[in-house]
Amino acid sequence: MIPAAFDYERAESVDHAIELLGSDEEAKILAGGHSLLPLMKLRLAQPSKLVDISRVDGLSEISDEADAMVIGALTRHHDVANSDVLQANCPIVAHTAGEIGDPAVRHVGTIGGSVAHADPASDLPTVLLALGATMVVRGPGGASREVGAGDFFKGLFEPDLAPDEVLVQIRVPRHTGGWSYLKFHRRAQDWALVGVAALAANGSGPTVALTNMGDRPLRASAVEHALGAGADPATAAQLAAEGTSPPSDAFGSAEYRRELSKVLVQRALEQAMA
């Protein structure tokens, strides 16, 4: 289908983007456009204006700071996947970016777009939740705020972002211990029917998070508690679907996804803890 008519402005800076967003409450940011444009073609989104941030300087860098890896929101999935900094200091993020879609998607889609879109079927939000990443958001007047991944994903396509705010960075803690991201899909480039991120020891104990098992990325808290109480991965994994509400669609029923999550959680834990 053809999108509804819209205006287009190219932002020169983050503050310029915020100003443009503030002048039109129906305006939306355009980054890679790989999630927004399909929605516009289906007329599920009808922004009055697109504010294109794709050429804003300084939003596509990955740096190693004392307490975190800092990923600019405009960094393409391909560059996240191939980043030496991330491969050395937080390999689960680099690996997972390389699992997104196909090369064409990875060369255009951005980590910020993936996070801001807040699609529970997306891969990176689950990994960022497991890691306890922090989103850095800029708003009018240069005001900046930081939101933990656990609070940022508020519901289906519902990020903690005001209409005139821009996600500028994602801060990811260093994690070089055991990890796994497993994604079950029918074809190599497909979205996850279910995905599982497992970290062997992240702070207090193993961490497990789930893709496409509810209206947002979810921590598998029952699994984490069981592991903390001494259960082995196979036993703990039986609790993977507790507290979830997976969708049913043409690719699998909710019941199928619940069963699949148990299998994937066990495998992911075994890989992460090996």
By CB under 6 A, tell whether 33 contacts ligand FAD.
Answer: yes
Binding window for ligand FAD (CB under 6 A); candidates: 84-92, 114-122, 235-243, 254-262: 114-122
The Cα 140–Cα 117 span in angstroms is 21
User: How many Cα atoms within 13 Å fall on the side-chain side of residue 21?
Assistant: 25
Nearer to ligand FAD, 51 or 236 (CB): 51
Nearer to ligand FAD, 106 or 219 (CB): 106
Nearer to ligand FAD, 206 or 252 (CB): 252
Please, which of residues 209-268 interact with ligand FAD by CB under 6 A?
none
Options 83, 95, 113, 152; binder of ligand FAD; rule CB under 6 A: 113
Nearer to ligand FAD, 91 or 101 (CB): 101
Binding window for ligand FAD (CB under 6 A); candidates: 3-11, 121-129, 199-207, 246-254: 121-129
Least distance from ligand FAD to the Cβ atom of residue 181, Å: 11
How many residues touch ligand FAD under the rule CB under 6 A: the total is 27
Options 89, 110, 207, 244; binder of ligand FAD; rule CB under 6 A: 110
Strands lying side by side in the sheet with 62-64: 62-64, 69-72, 166-172, 134-138, 144-148
Options 122, 202, 261, 266; binder of ligand FAD; rule CB under 6 A: 122
By CB under 6 A, tell whether 120 contacts ligand FAD.
Answer: no
By CB under 6 A, tell whether 31 contacts ligand FAD.
Answer: yes
The Cα 182–Cα 202 span in angstroms is 18
The Cα 212–Cα 57 span in angstroms is 33
By CB under 6 A, tell whether 116 contacts ligand FAD.
Answer: yes
Q: Show the binding pattern over residues 56-85: x = contacts ligand FAD (CB under 6 A), - = does not.
A: -----------------x------------
The Cα 1–Cα 212 span in angstroms is 27
- Determine contact, residues 114/153, Cβ cutoff 8 Å: no
By CB under 6 A, tell whether 105 contacts ligand FAD.
Answer: yes
By CB under 6 A, tell whether 101 contacts ligand FAD.
Answer: yes
By CB under 6 A, tell whether 128 contacts ligand FAD.
Answer: no
Q: Which residues bind ligand FAD (CB under 6 A)?
A: 28-36, 73, 100-101, 105, 109-110, 112-114, 116-117, 122-124, 161, 166-167, 191
